[in-house]
Amino acid sequence: MPLVAPFETSFGRTTQRRILLVEVDVDGVIGWGECVAGEGPFYAPETIETAWHILRDFIWPALARKEFVAAADLWGMLSAIRGHNMAKGAIEAAVWDAEARQKGIPLSKLIGGSLAEIPCGVSIGIQESDDELQRVVERELDAGYQRIKIKIKPGYDVEPVARLRRRFANVRLMVDANSAYRLEDTPRLRELEAYFLMMIEQPLGWDDIWSHAELQRKLMTPICLDECIHTEEHARAAMALGACRIINIKLGRVGGFTPARRIHDLCRDQGIPVWCGGMLESGIGRAHNIALSTLPNFSLPGDVTASKRYWTEDIIDPEVTVTPRGTIRVPAGPGIGFEPKRDRIDRLTVRREVLR
């Protein structure tokens, strides 16, 4: 699926997404999930190709023709497979969708969600100029989004933030470095403190909780961890070390709804707010993110946005829309609450495999 506009981060520029969808048949009821792995191993070690391999050769043999009571059982059934959370999360989410459809209830209710609307922010990639960045921010604020996140990297950080803060004095503003800095860059990151940011997301190494703890002790601005948090144990260690004050929970990064709910509950009990990050998902992955964001400790606006921000035409009906006040109404229909457009999916599909 080609993006409406290129999306650039500290680790690269994306113009189109190869998306791996999982369609599962659970006792005759169909559920859908999406693997959020990228084309290359830059955000995380997984890729679309590794996920396809793990799903076909290891995850499916562990689940095929097995009996289980609920979607929540899948995480334990896959415990022998180390890592590969994005592959696990794709099929786990699809089974949750199927279970909710079987029961005739929204997926948000099945996972224990309580919100009828979720607050939305936007993630804005690195722009070619500060003028273009300002125009994009103005457009997103006019659309009603409640929080602005911009991507930063060395050489593109303090100056664009300073300009945005001068132009938008009261906007909730945050930055995301996607692990682009090192601990020795602390003086540069401290310069961002002057601009009253909500948080600095994942400034240091993708697997370096210790250095984030060192950095957080030197900053008043909260650090939010993203790439560092793959498991409940990672979240517990980060909180114990003081490595962050906020955690971004991405369904695929942690492996599905069961581990995501555990991390959510742990953060809630420790007084750490969470929010839902995005991975340039199609509407299927976006629908799962909406359901996840209804859990009560998702108290900060996430990266769940309208379909039209990324796609000229999405693969779900109806498409995801955002209200003028910057919220998404949680669908009341069974499962994810959206129907996949099978004709469009078929036209876009370049590879298919049926596992029985």
Task: Convert the pLDDT of each residue in 78-98 to its tens digit.
Answer: 999 999 999 999 999 999 999
Residues 6+ apart with CB under 8 A from 166: none
Structure tokens that stand for 208 in this block: 């370096």
Q: Are strands 29-35 and 20-26 parallel, antiparallel or unpaired?
A: antiparallel
Structure tokens that stand for 342 in this block: 């099978």
Task: Convert the pLDDT of each residue in 216-233 to its tens digit.
Answer: 999 999 999 999 999 999
Indicate the range of 7-11, 287-291, 328-332 predicted with least confidence.
7-11
Task: Convert the pLDDT of each residue in 113-168 to its tens digit.
Answer: 999 999 999 999 999 999 999 999 999 999 999 999 999 999 999 999 999 999 99
Average pLDDT over residues 303-321: 97
Structure tokens that stand for 132 in this block: 């273009």
10 band by pLDDT with thresholds 50, 70 and 90: confident
Residue 187 · residue 213 · CB < 8 Å: no
Distance CA 318, CA 337 (A): 9
Find how far residue 155's CA is from the centre of its chain.
Answer: 26
3-state class of 131 per DSSP?
helix
Residue that has been written with the tokens 């959020």 in this structure? 36
pLDDT at residue 271 greater than cutoff 90: yes
Distance CA 152, CA 169 (A): 19
**Active centre residues (catalytic):** 151, 250
pLDDT at residue 323 greater than cutoff 90: yes
63 band by pLDDT with thresholds 50, 70 and 90: very high
3-state class of 78 per DSSP?
coil
pLDDT at residue 12 greater than cutoff 90: no
User: For the chain, how far is it from start to end, CA to CA, in angstroms?
Assistant: 28
The pTM of this model reads 0.96
Q: For the chain, how are helix, strand and coil distributed in percent, rounded to 5? A: 40, 20, 40
CB atoms within 10 A of CB 75: 17
Structure tokens that stand for 42 in this block: 């830059």
Average pLDDT over residues 283-308: 97
H-helix or E-strand spanning residue 317: strand 316-317
- Based on DSSP, count helices (H) and strands (E) in the chain, helices before strands: 14, 15
pLDDT at residue 65 greater than cutoff 90: no
Residues 6+ apart with CB under 8 A from 161: 150, 152, 173, 175, 192, 195, 197
Structure tokens that stand for 100 in this block: 């909710």
Residues 6+ apart with CB under 8 A from 124: 133, 136, 137, 140, 148, 149, 150, 151
pLDDT at residue 298 greater than cutoff 90: yes
pLDDT at residue 253 greater than cutoff 90: yes
Residue 163 · residue 134 · CB < 8 Å: yes
CB atoms within 10 A of CB 352: 9
Structure tokens that stand for 312 in this block: 């000229």
